[in-house]
Structure formats: C-alpha cells, structure tokens
C-alpha cells in the first residue's frame, strides 16, 4: 500500500499562486469551483478541497536575499474581507516599508517611475490605485502591527522605497467575502496549439466560492462556469453567438452560472458564486480556445460531507491502481470524486468489511471469474459508481459509519492487478492521524505520523504496516522524550523498553500487525506528552519511536525549537509568529547541545531591543522585571534533547519570546510574537 497522508487538522492556509480579482470593494458576481486536470492528457487531480480564508492575521517578513534581490513573504495571500491584522517584521539589513494598494493591476506589473520626487518607485497615486494602509519606514529588526479594513477585491502589497519594488518587493493579496472558499485559477497557453485552465482544487463544498482568476498567457481569455452533467471535455464544437469554434452554452442541460468576461493578458479578476451540489464544466469559450484545451471538470460536494478524490487507472499491462487523496475521513457523509485516468473501463466500489482490502480471495462473482465475492459473509457493498469509461468522472456520496472499508474495482481481473485500498471512517468528533510503520533498511525502522500534535479528546490513529516485518503501535503517556527510554528486558524479552516504568502509562496499542495490514486505534487523550513506539524486540532501538503532543482543546498550537547555530549564535524558531487571542500551546523542543529555556514576555519593546545587564544576580541577561515587561509564562530550564508543553492564555498585543539564560539572549535567542 502506498503511503498516504491524511490532513487531520488543516492549520495552514492554501497557497494560491497566480490569482486575480475584480478591484476594490465592488459588487461581485457569483461563481463555482472546478477540479483541475489538464485536458487532452491524463487527468491529474488537484488538491481535494481548498481551505476557507478564515484567518484575519497575516505574518509578513521583509528583507533581502542578496545585493540585488529583496522580498515580501506573507503567511497567507488570501484573507476574509473586513479587519485584517498584518504583523510585519523587517528581517533584513536595510530599512523597508509595507504598503497595501487596492488595485486591479497584478503586483508585479507596475511601471517604475518617479514618485514624490524620488526615482525608482511606483506611482501610488496612479488611476485605479489607492493606498489603503502602510507601516511607514521600518528599521532592521523592527516589528509593527498594521490593521486595515479590507473590502473584497485584489490588492498589491509592496515596499516602495527607492529601488526596492524593482528588486522584488511586491506580492498579490486577495480579500474575499467572509465564509467563501478561495480557488485560484490560471489561464494561458502552453504553445501555439495548446491552452490551459489550471485550478487550485478539485472540489468545494456547496455555498459561496471565490475564484481568483489570473490570465497568465499572452492572449485574451475568459473563465466561464457551466452547470452541466456533461464531462468538460465532451462538448461538441459548434457555432455560438454567430462565431464558429465555440461550444453551445445554451444547450439543453447546460446553465452558465457565472463568468469573468474577457480578460486581457496579465489581468486578474475575482468571481464569487453561490454554487449548489453537482458537476460543473469550467471553460474558456472564446473562438478556438475550448478546442485547444481550455476546459476542466469540477465538483461541488454536499454541505457537511468530506471530499475524497479518487484516481483509477493502469500502471502497465499487468498492474492497475486506485489512488485516494486521503486514507480516512470522519464518519458521516463522504463524497468520493472519482476520475478514470486510465485507458480501460473501471469502477469504484466501497465495501464495509473487517477484511483488509488486499485479503479477499479471487473467485467467481455474478457468473464472471477473477472477481471477489461482494456478497461474502461480513461484506456489505455500501455504494459504487458503476462502470466508468476512460476520461470520465463521477461523484459518489455515501453516509459512512465508523469502521473499516475496502475500496475496489471488481471488474474481472482488476482486483488481482492491484485495484484495492483500505479506507477508514473515524468516529465523529475524533482527530484522525495516519500512521505508517516499516523498515528503511535491515538496521533502521520507522514510525511516520501525519501529525505530531493533536487536540485533547478522541484521537483515531489509522495505522498501516507498510514493511515486510511484523510491527505494533503503542501509545505511552509519559514526560520522557520518545528517544530517551533505556533499552532493557520487558515481559521476559530483551531489547525492549519498560512500559511499566514509573511515570509511564500504556494508554492504547494495536497489538501485533502483520505486513500490509491496517488497524484503527481510537483513544481519548488528555493534554500532555506521549511517546508512540513499536516495542517488539529490537524495533525501538532501530528507530521506531516518535513524540506526540496533545494540546488543550481550543488552544492554538505553536511549535518552538531552541538551539545553537555555532559557538556564538543561538536561535529560537517559531512555527508561526502570530496567534489569535486565547489559549496558545507552545510545544518546545531543545534541539541544541546546551541547556535552554523559553520565556514569554508581554511588552511593547521589540524582542531584539532589550538592554543586556544583570538579572537575578547574573550578568548577561535582560531584565524581566523592567517597567512595561511581564513574564506571562516559561518552561524553566530544558536539558538538551528535552521537550515541554507550555500553555498560556494570551491577550491581544505584542510579546517577546526569549531564552534568558546568561549570554543566550545576546547570541540571538529572541523573537517577536503577536496576538491579535
């Protein structure tokens, strides 16, 4: 079984490149989404479903890559309309600024002119351009918070100090209606006879969808959304509106639900539509463009269902496959968006069963040989697509109860050539984590997890043994780092760790798992640290161990690394520099070879600007008791290789996170952190 990662908790914004919008604060049309597979070739599934633009906090980094290149990095390029907090840090060695311009023009397209009497700047007063907010000049190392009320539309974020825009300090930013799902769309040409529509996702839930459309090509294009049961590649090319080489948008069973209109090269538009469940074809219907490949299928899934994309096809003449975007989903409605990518007819069948997908005997079924018995004891067919011709797509929505399923193609011979996968429906409300066990080589083994942290409560581990040896998956509640257990004898066997040691509690395990088997282990976990291991003789020593943190329900999780770069430089690395107000769970690891600590100070002082003096009778420290500084939480000393969970209830404002052991702050152990 190939390794699949289940996105258990989506905490990262979807990076949407090459996006576009309708300007600043104008009324928007409504459109739908599409799955992006390249036409005229084998369909290539895009991500199953995009994330909503739910965060109104954006971290921004300004700086220089080298002497002639500078950058603006943003944690998200899509935000919900309304008040947005930009937490801006100048990481560079030069003064920079952060300016937000409301404009239809792509951020990279402004002419460089003179502005305010200075050369090598862009004109912020040009027609169709409005400066809606800026930080002003920021010295190296400085941080600022900029709050702007953004209307729906497109913005360019720039540094407009002389020469900086020309060296790369520009980024596109979109504000979309709150609650809508963002989907980036790219239009363009591959060569003189081939054109494309590229989409950032293959499905969205029913409701408002915001298409951020960019014409990346050198010709005029358009983006049209058609509600239709007809596959996007199967429309007849006819005359339409008096022009040849187009498709008929007024044909029976076809409804145009939204379009951008003509888009010049380099232009961008935002198209927002409230879409109902079903299939859509997205096309460019300018003369000849559809015929050159500008068409893609997309699906809108029922509200509340979990989308899973499925690819069916052949690897070679004797091997076939089923590829799933996820190996598990929460119990309840699941929408399988199935595409036959192959050259042969296939089907997609979902069987409720305790039998592993690869473990069915091949027999005769319904009078045909080389099939599996879907009517065997303990097997229930809960849904299927029926036969699917090459190049076709279907959506199959099933209400799945918690448990194990085998998904197969049961056309004669196809199961035997590899068309089977295990799929799990996890209990409603549990956090799913996929786990793979196996061997790298004869002396190294692994446990891989899709996530190393989860929220307190029910966690469902979907465990697959991908290796050639028997393994197990054991969850131990303990303060001991997973790699630090002594290897001893346990239960009369050598080369194991002691699961009954003081401070160690076995809270759940799979038991022995043969190669190619899968199991689901659901445990109610409290906040704290866990070690997940395989404790069969010798396996722990060969690397089968991982740390897992369970954070309080409702807390924002931030991972923190402490360590040394060299003998005179140390660091604090944060997974993100911002969080919403409320509980924040810092998962702190000392990666270095020295003792460190992690201290959170509420203060208006930038983290790099504290005076170094004496504190608590020790030199080379900062004063945590200075006016305007409050220590709101700390880990205490952490030995090399240790981990701690620090949960603090933080109010909006600025914080400095530091290591304040003697000399460590001065060697670089300080970072700014914002709560909005």
Please indicate, yes or no, whether residues 149 and 206 belong to a single structural domain of this protein. no
Instruction: Give residue 187's pLDDT.
Output: 97
Task: Tell me the pLDDT band of 391, cut-offs 50, 70 and 90.
Answer: confident
Tell me how far apart the alpha carbons of residues 610 and 630 are, in angstroms, rounded to a whole number: 13
Instruction: Give residue 141's pLDDT.
Output: 84
Domain total in the chain: 5
Angle at 368 between CA 335 and CA 2, to 5 degrees: 45
pTM of the model as a whole: 0.75
Residue 41 placed within a domain: no
Residue that terminates a domain, selected from 551, 572, 596: 551
Tell me how far apart the alpha carbons of residues 587 and 488 are, in angstroms, rounded to a whole number: 29
Please indicate, yes or no, whether residues 617 and 661 belong to a single structural domain of this protein. yes
The DSSP secondary structure of 19-70, one letter per residue, reads -----BS-----B-------TTS------S-PPP----EEEEEEEEEETTEE
The CATH number of residue 315's host domain is 2.60.40.420
Structure tokens at 30: 């409504």
Question: For 637-643, what is the mean pLDDT?
Answer: 90
Tens-place pLDDT, residues 435-471: 999 999 999 999 999 999 999 999 999 999 999 999 9
Please indicate, yes or no, whether residues 372 and 389 belong to a single structural domain of this protein. yes
Question: For 278-299, what is the mean pLDDT?
Answer: 97
Please indicate, yes or no, whether residues 231 and 322 belong to a single structural domain of this protein. no
Tell me how far apart the alpha carbons of residues 19 and 270 are, in angstroms, rounded to a whole number: 8
Residue that terminates a domain, selected from 118, 147, 176: 176
Residue 34 placed within a domain: no
Please indicate, yes or no, whether residues 189 and 258 belong to a single structural domain of this protein. yes
Residue that terminates a domain, selected from 522, 551, 580: 551
Please indicate, yes or no, whether residues 504 and 519 belong to a single structural domain of this protein. yes
Question: For 167-179, what is the mean pLDDT?
Answer: 95
Is residue 4 over pLDDT 90? no
Residue 118 placed within a domain: yes
Tens-place pLDDT, residues 259-287: 999 999 988 899 999 999 999 999 999 99
Is residue 224 over pLDDT 90? yes
Q: Are 434 and 465 in contact (CB under 8 A)?
A: no
Residue 257 placed within a domain: yes
Question: For 500-507, what is the mean pLDDT?
Answer: 97
Please indicate, yes or no, whether residues 311 and 297 belong to a single structural domain of this protein. no
Structure tokens at 652: 């909006």
Residue 104 placed within a domain: yes
Please indicate, yes or no, whether residues 325 and 414 belong to a single structural domain of this protein. yes
Query: DSSP letter at 233?
Result: G
Tell me how far apart the alpha carbons of residues 369 and 375 are, in angstroms, rounded to a whole number: 15
Secondary structure (H, E, C), 555-613? CEEEEEEEEEEECCEEEEEECCCEECCEEEEEEEEECCCCCECCEEEECCCCHHHCCEE
Please indicate, yes or no, whether residues 317 and 387 belong to a single structural domain of this protein. yes
Instruction: Give residue 46's pLDDT.
Output: 39
Instruction: Give residue 202's pLDDT.
Output: 79
Region of residue 136 (left: phi > 0; alpha: psi -120 to 50; beta: else) = left
Residue 372 placed within a domain: yes
Please indicate, yes or no, whether residues 529 and 583 belong to a single structural domain of this protein. no
Q: Are 63 and 37 in contact (CB under 8 A)?
A: no
Instruction: Give residue 53's pLDDT.
Output: 54
Region of residue 114 (left: phi > 0; alpha: psi -120 to 50; beta: else) = beta
Please indicate, yes or no, whether residues 284 and 323 belong to a single structural domain of this protein. no
Instruction: Give residue 457's pLDDT.
Output: 96
Please indicate, yes or no, whether residues 293 and 356 belong to a single structural domain of this protein. no
Distance of CA 220 to the CA centre of its chain: 32
Task: Tell me the pLDDT band of 42, cut-offs 50, 70 and 90.
Answer: very low
Residue 5 placed within a domain: no
Task: Tell me the pLDDT band of 28, cut-offs 50, 70 and 90.
Answer: very low
Range of the domain at 443: 431-551
Question: For 526-543, what is the mean pLDDT?
Answer: 97
Tens-place pLDDT, residues 654-676: 999 999 999 999 999 999 998 88
Q: Are 52 and 272 in contact (CB under 8 A)?
A: no
Indicate the average pLDDT of the chain: 90
Secondary structure (H, E, C), 517-549? CEEEEEEEECCEEEEEECCCCCCCCCCCEEEEE
Sign of CA dihedral 569, 572, 576, 581: negative
Residue 658 placed within a domain: yes
């Amino acid at each position: 079984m190939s390794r699949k990662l289940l996105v258990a908790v989506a905490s990262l914004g979807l990076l949407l490149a090459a996006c576009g919008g309708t300007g600043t604060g104008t009324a928007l049309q409504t459109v739908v989404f599409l799955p992006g597979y390249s036409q005229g070739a084998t369909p290539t599934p895009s991500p199953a479903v995009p994330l909503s633009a739910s965060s109104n906090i954006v971290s921004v980094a300004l700086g220089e890559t080298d002497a002639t290149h500078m950058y603006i990095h943003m944690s998200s390029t899509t935000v919900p309309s309304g008040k947005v907090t930009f937490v801006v840090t100048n990481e560079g060695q030069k003064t920079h600024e952060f300016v937000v311009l409301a404009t239809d023009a792509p951020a990279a397209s402004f002419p460089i002119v003179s502005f305010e009497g200075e050369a090598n700047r862009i004109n912020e007063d040009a027609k169709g351009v409005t400066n809606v907010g800026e930080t002003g000049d920021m010295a190296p190392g400085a941080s600022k918070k900029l709050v702007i009320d953004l209307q729906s539309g497109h913005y360019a974020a720039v540094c407009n100090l002389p020469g900086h825009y020309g060296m790369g300090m520009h980024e596109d930013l979109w504000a979309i209606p709150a609650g809508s799902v963002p989907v980036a769309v790219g239009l363009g040409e591959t060569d003189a006879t081939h054109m494309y529509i590229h989409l950032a996702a293959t499905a969205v839930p029913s409701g408002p969808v915001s298409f951020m459309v960019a014409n990346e090509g050198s010709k005029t294009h358009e983006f049209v959304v058609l509600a239709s049961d007809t596959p996007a590649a199967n429309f007849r090319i006819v005359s339409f509106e008096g022009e040849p080489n187009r498709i008929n948008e007024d044909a029976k069973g076809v409804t145009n639900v939204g379009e951008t209109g003509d888009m010049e090269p380099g232009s961008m538009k935002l198209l927002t539509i409230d879409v109902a469940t079903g299939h859509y074809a997205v096309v460019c219907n300018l003369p000849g463009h559809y015929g050159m490949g500008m068409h893609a299928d997309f699906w809108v899934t029922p509200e509340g269902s979990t989308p899973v994309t499925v690819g069916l096809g052949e690897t070679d003449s004797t091997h076939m496959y089923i590829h799933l975007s996820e190996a598990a989903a929460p119990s309840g409605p699941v929408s399988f968006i199935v595409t036959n990518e192959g050259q042969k007819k296939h089907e997609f069948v979902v069987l409720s069963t305790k039998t592993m997908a690869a473990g069915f005997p091949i027999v005769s079924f319904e009078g045909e040989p080389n099939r599996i018995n879907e009517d065997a004891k303990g097997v229930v067919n809960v849904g299927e697509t029926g036969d699917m011709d090459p190049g076709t797509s279907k959506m199959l929505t099933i209400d799945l109860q918690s448990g194990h399923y085998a998904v197969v193609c049961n056309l004669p011979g196809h199961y035997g050539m590899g068309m089977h996968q295990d799929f799990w429906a996890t209990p409603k409300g549990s956090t799913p984590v996929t786990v793979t066990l196996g061997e790298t080589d004869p002396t190294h083994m692994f446990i891989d997890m899709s996530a190393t942290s989860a929220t307190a409560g029910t966690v469902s581990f979907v465990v697959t043994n991908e290796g050639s040896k028997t393994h197990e998956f054991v969850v131990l509640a303990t303060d001991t780092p997973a790699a630090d257990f002594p290897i001893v004898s346990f239960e009369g066997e050598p080369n194991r760790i002691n699961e009954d040691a003081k401070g160690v509690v076995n809270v759940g395990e799979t038991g022995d798992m043969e190669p190619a088997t899968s199991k689901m282990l659901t445990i109610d976990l409290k906040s704290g640290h866990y070690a997940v291991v395989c404790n069969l003789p010798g396996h722990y020593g060969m690397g089968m161990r991982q740390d897992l943190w369970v954070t309080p329900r409702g807390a924002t999780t931030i991972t923190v690394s402490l360590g040394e770069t060299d003998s005179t430089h140390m660091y604090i690395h944060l997974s993100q520099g911002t969080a919403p107000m409320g509980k924040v769970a810092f998962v702190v690891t000392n990666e270095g070879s020295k003792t460190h600590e992690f201290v959170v100070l509420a203060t208006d002082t930038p983290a790099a600007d504290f005076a170094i003096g004496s504190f608590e009778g020790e030199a080379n420290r900062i004063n945590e008791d200075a006016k305007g500084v409050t220590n709101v939480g700390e880990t205490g000393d952490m030995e090399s290789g240790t981990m701690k969970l620090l949960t603090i209830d933080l109010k909006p404002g600025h914080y400095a996170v530091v290591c304040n052991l003697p000399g460590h702050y001065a060697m670089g152990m300080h970072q700014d952190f914002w709560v909005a």
